[in-house]
Amino acid sequence: MERLQKVMAMAGVASRRQCENLIREGRVKVNGEWVTAPGMKVDPRKDVIEVDGEPVFLEEKRTFLFYKPSGVITSMSDPRGRKTVADFFRDIPERVFPVGRLDYDTEGLLLVTNDGELANRLLHPRFEVEKVYVATVRGKPDKAAIRTLREGVRLEDGMTAPAKVRVLEASDSRSRLELTIHEGRNRQVRRMCAAVGHPVIHLKRTRLAFLTLSGLRRGEYRELTPQEVKRLRSRMGL
């Protein structure tokens, strides 16, 4: 017997936290009965679980590395009809979903999976998964701005954790910075750079943990190798 939200996440419905929200929103049935409180114990081999009227099945776990282009919503649907991650994964029969978010106007590395347990660990702050971004910013950050980024920036939702920062290029009009962070706040890198007086012009995520975009062009994806999945799950304590 397992908690309902864990079984849903294992089946690739969404991350465990998102599955809890689906339950609270009254979108989940177990054996024909509505469930609105997370925590119910179910047997995935016997109990019939439905989300929005669709049955939930435990699927083969699959994880993909996707080079998200700018101008794509990090979601599997959009009520406004904008292009989403789902548009690139129509040939994948499993019900996959993106791990975390990249802003609409940010490009780069995004994991897409139906392994809810792995997704939940990757998003949990205690695992401190490194995320590397290359930011093109306005102006030329001085030593004080770089030091602030490295030591922590005061944002409206509190101080950021220290970041690793490298100056890749610098000129009076624009510069390129490589920032390594392990937090996952909304639009964090953009807000950090703006806070030190250098708004982001272009942003790209180039690495997540040990995974990079090597060999991929915008809009392309590849499935992680069994060795990569094993290494990633081990890094997450799975």
Query: What DSSP state is assigned to residue 91?
Result: T
Relative orientation angle of helices 16-24 and 116-123, to the nearest 10 degrees: 100
Asked if residue 7 lies in contact with residue 48, where contact means CB atoms within 8 angstroms, the answer is no
Residue 179: both structure tokens together: 């920032």
* Cα 204 off chain centre by: 14
Catalytic residue among 91, 103, 105, 172: 103
* Distance in angstroms (rounded) separating the CA atoms of residues 126 and 129: 9
Name the helix (H) or strand (E) containing 201: strand 200-208
Is 103 tagged catalytic?
Answer: yes
For the chain, helix, strand, coil in percent to 5 are 25, 30, 45
The single-letter code of the amino acid at 203 is L
77: left (phi over 0), alpha (psi -120 to 50) or beta: beta
* Locus of tokens 């939930």: 56
Query: What DSSP state is assigned to residue 20?
Result: H
Terminal Cα distance for the chain, rounded: 19
* Distance in angstroms (rounded) separating the CA atoms of residues 233 and 51: 27
User: What amino acid positions are annotated as catalytic residues?
Assistant: 103
